[in-house]
Amino acid sequence: MKINAGVSNREGEHQVTLRTNENIQSIVIPPKSTGFGSSVNGGELLFLALATCYCNDLYREAGKKGIKVQQVEVEVDGDFGGEGDPATNVIYRAKVTAQASEEDIRALIEQTDRLTEIQNTLRRGTPVVLTGIEAVSV
């Protein structure tokens, strides 16, 4: 699966595009009230990515086990310090309501935690590299 995410921003306009393989989507995120930048910060989106990935992966893993999940709630908390500092104290909680025993639901929750791609990306410290710079003078 190949994923591409992009942002285009100028005064009063903020556009987000997402592409997974050939599937293109957009998410509406308004600009900051100043007109420049996103009204949502990267830390918020990172934590949302953690919650979303876990939620989606839980349904995937439940399907493999034949567990019918009725509801998933995921909440992520953490801290960011000064400029350039990485997140700290990142924790998440999951509440799963399903047609299965509590023991089977707990096992599903724990197994999904081990398989969740975004959590594992952060846990393993995947390098992020800037490869292209284009400066346009006006």
0.85 exceeded by pTM: yes
| Phi and psi angles of residue 93, each rounded to the nearest 5 degrees, phi first | -125, 145
Is it the case that residue 76 has pLDDT exceeding 90?
A: yes
pLDDT tens figures, 16-44: 999 999 999 988 999 999 989 999 999 99
- pLDDT confidence of residue 35: 87
Mean per-residue pLDDT, 91-113: 98
What residue segments make up the domains of the chain, in order of their start? Answer: 1-40, 41-138
- Tell the CATH superfamily of the 41-138 domain: K homology (KH) domain (3.30.300.20)
Query: How far out from the chain centre does Cα 20 lie?
Result: 14
Q: Retrieve residue 57's tokens.
A: 């992966």
- pLDDT confidence of residue 42: 94
Q: Retrieve residue 20's tokens.
A: 């997974």
Mean per-residue pLDDT, 107-112: 98
